[in-house]
């Protein structure tokens, strides 16, 4: 955008110099000629003024700041469209003579802990007032925090603000995401949505930078930094600076938590917690109030170039003009001599006025009149009709086109574009959005590979390679699934690969009859079989060995099949051991270990009793579980 210094905006604001230039607008220092005071005038770049969405965002900035009456918010005084001279959409704000918080960070590196809290308090106080009104700033960063020469902290640039009292809002534009990515909350990066907790996150990141002198995440590109904000917690401040109080570290970590539910709900809650910590650090010091100005150390100004200084001095000298009586006399004589020329100029001026009048009639009322086409990009077709029909203009849809950014049914372009002129009764051509170009992956499960490729080929998608895997449910040679899976909506030229079944996987199956049951269980499980074990008495097979297995007599079996093992518990008979003269407790334990039931008969009064008789007699063969009676005395 060319420098507009010297222009008179809206017949009132005389632009004196350009003080800032951004991607959306330029800011000028200006004189309000009506009230004779300095102001700041923010003017949208002309190429964006044709876009209704950008104009709405620009106006929303004025509404958001104007809705707030707070000493720490840059006050908005006026907003409008320049009707005469250079076409311009503008906002008039109070002029803050000072520097941004970014300037202080660049010069200091990091703040003292008390100073950082003193700066954060008015920032949170201003945001608390905004949140109470339902307004969310959505673009808090050091560049949007101003510090005046008097030390007053001011929040600026409510261009992305949203809230019920200022109307609806757009999703965060990509240029803004890239420009402010170091302070965007994960939910803004992932879903493009924000609430008061998103402002809290941004202030947490600003606080981190003020206290440590560096941003929590650094990367080669904005996308890398955004990825880190979404997937990583910021490092503890105490790992960067040990003297930071633990309570302050925990508060900043909480405010910048990736999960919005874990943060303070709004700036008011954040402010209360910060003031409590401030009181803990220095109980004797009163809490800093937003009405007070901070003691500000001046930023070192860059030396003015010599050439500029000389020009200023020359301009100052040229103001001082001394007129002598002789020079005044000469001037009067010159005016007399020029009187004929003045009369001639008046005639020329009259002729030009008549010509301009006729031309104006021809252009505005007569046959040459043309209608200015309003901006309708982003609106619906019905909205375009309701806007254009009252102007006597007709519409025709010449194309419906896919668009990644414009929603279905909204207008992408108009011809003539917004701000262009067209003959009265003319026709405005429209291009309508079909929304993002997406195609749904068809259901391919159970089809042959050939049929699956044919189904994919009906769409502008790329057919990928086949992958074969074993599967118990899908027969060999048929499709199991696809990547991406069926039902997924994908962009044009997305590669779709299919997974084909190789049938059931088979595994070699050996016979484990007579072998250790433990060995059989481990080896069969490692091969992928499901093993079921049962136990039975057997007079021929040793205890713990496999009696039989199912299936048997086969070389291979499906992987995952059930293999049943019958494992021997040994003989079901035992022989009565000789436990004569053994103490009662030991004799009982020996018999119970043989799975026999023991009945004890006691005789005499000895304290330690020993076995004196046993029934059945020693050496008898009995079944496990039989009852044995011992007499002790």
∠ CA 291-294-298 to the nearest 5 degrees?
145
Cβ atoms 255, 203 nearer than 8 A: yes
Beta bridge partners of 629: 599, 615
Alpha helices in 91-195 (DSSP H): 101-108, 113-132, 174-179, 186-191
Spot the catalytic one: 10, 32, 36, 139.
Answer: 139
| Euclidean distance between CA atoms 243 and 113, whole angstroms | 9
- Number of helices (H), then strands (E), belonging to the chain: the values are 16, 29
Number of Cα atoms under 13 Å in the Cβ half of residue 119: 30
Cβ atoms 499, 480 nearer than 8 A: yes
How many of the other CB atoms lie within 10 Å of CB of 87?
Answer: 12
Distances (CA, A) of 30 to 7, 145, 516: 10, 21, 97
10 among known catalytic residues: no
**Measured torsion, CA atoms of residues 12, 14, 19, 20, in degrees rounded to the nearest 10:** 50
Backbone angles phi, psi at 155, to 5 degrees: -95, 135
Beta bridge partners of 601: 631
Task: Write the DSSP string, 553-592.
Answer: S-SEEETT-EEEEEEE---SEEE----TT-BHHHHHHHHH
Beta bridge partners of 90: 43, 80
How many of the other CB atoms lie within 10 Å of CB of 152?
Answer: 19
Task: Write the DSSP string, 469-490.
Answer: E--SSSPTTSEEEEESPTT-EE
Distances (CA, A) of 1 to 4, 8, 180, 277, 410: 9, 17, 22, 47, 29
Active site amino acids? 139
């Amino acid at each position: 955008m060319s420098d507009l210094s010297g222009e008179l905006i809206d017949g009132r604001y005389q632009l004196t110099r350009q003080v800032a230039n951004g991607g959306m607008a330029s800011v000028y220092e200006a004189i309000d000629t009506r009230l004779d005071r300095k102001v700041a005038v923010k003017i949208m770049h002309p190429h964006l003024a044709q876009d209704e969405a950008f104009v709405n965002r620009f106006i929303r900035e004025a509404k958001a700041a104007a809705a707030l009456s707070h000493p720490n918010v840059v006050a908005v005084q006026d907003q409008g469209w320049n009707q005469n001279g250079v076409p311009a959409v503008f906002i008039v704000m109070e002029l803050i003579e000072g520097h941004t918080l970014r300037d202080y960070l660049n010069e200091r590196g990091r703040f003292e802990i008390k100073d950082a809290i003193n700066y954060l308090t008015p920032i949170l106080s201003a945001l608390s007032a905004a949140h109470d009104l339902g307004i969310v700033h959505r673009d808090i960063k050091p560049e949007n925090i101003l510090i005046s020469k008097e030390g007053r902290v001011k929040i600026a640039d409510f261009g992305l603000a949203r809230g019920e009292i200022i109307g609806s809002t757009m999703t965060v534009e990509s240029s803004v995401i890239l420009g402010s990515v170091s302070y965007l909350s994960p939910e803004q990066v992932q879903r493009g949505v924000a609430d008061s907790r998103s402002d809290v996150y941004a202030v947490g990141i600003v606080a981190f930078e003020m206290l440590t002198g560096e941003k929590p995440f650094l990367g080669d590109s904005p996308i890398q930094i955004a990825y880190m904000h979404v997937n990583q917690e910021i490092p503890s401040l105490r790992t960067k600076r040990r003297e930071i109080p633990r309570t302050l570290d925990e508060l900043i970590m909480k405010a910048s938590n990736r999960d919005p539910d874990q943060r303070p709900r709004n700036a008011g809650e954040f402010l209360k917690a910060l003031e409590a910590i401030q009181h803990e650090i220095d109980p004797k010091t009163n809490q800093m109030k937003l009405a007070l100005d901070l003691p500000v150390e001046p930023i070192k100004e860059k030396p003015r170039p010599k050439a500029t200084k000389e020009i200023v001095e020359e301009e100052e000298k040229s103001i001082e003009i001394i007129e002598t009586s002789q020079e005044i006399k000469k001037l009067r004589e010159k005016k007399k001599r020029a009187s004929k020329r003045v009369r001639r100029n008046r005639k020329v001026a009259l002729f030009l006025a008549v010509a301009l009048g006729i031309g104006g009639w021809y252009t505005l009322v007569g046959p040459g009149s043309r209608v200015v086409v309003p901006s309708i990009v982003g609106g619906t077709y019905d909205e375009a009709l309701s806007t254009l029909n009252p102007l006597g203009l007709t519409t025709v849809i010449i194309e419906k086109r896919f668009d990644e950014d414009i929603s279905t049914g909204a207008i992408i372009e108009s011809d003539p574009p917004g701000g262009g002129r067209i003959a009265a009764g003319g026709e405005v051509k429209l291009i309508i959005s079909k929304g993002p170009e997406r195609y749904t992956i068809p259901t391919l499960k159970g089809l042959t590979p050939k049929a699956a490729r044919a189904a994919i080929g009906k769409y502008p998608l790329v057919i990928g390679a086949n992958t074969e895997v074993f599967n118990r449910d899908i027969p060999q040679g048929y499709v199991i699934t696809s990547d991406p899976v069926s039902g997924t909506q994908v962009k044009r030229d997305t590669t779709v690969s299919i997974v084909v079944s190789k049938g059931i996987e088979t595994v070699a199956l050996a016979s484990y009859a007579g072998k250790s049951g433990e060995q059989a269980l481990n080896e069969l499980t490692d091969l992928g079989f499901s093993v079921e074990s049962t136990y039975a008495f057997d007079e021929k097979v040793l205890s713990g060995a496999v009696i039989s297995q199912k299936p048997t007599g086969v070389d291979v079996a499906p992987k995952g099949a059930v293999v049943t093992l019958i494992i021997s518990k040994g003989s079901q008979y035992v022989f009565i051991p000789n436990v004569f003269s053994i103490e009662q407790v030991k004799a009982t334990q020996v018999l119970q270990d043989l799975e026999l039931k023991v009945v004890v008969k006691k005789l005499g009064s000895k304290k330690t009793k020993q076995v004196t008789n046993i029934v059945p007699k020693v050496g008898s063969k009995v079944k496990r579980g039989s009852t044995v009676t011992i007499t002790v005395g």
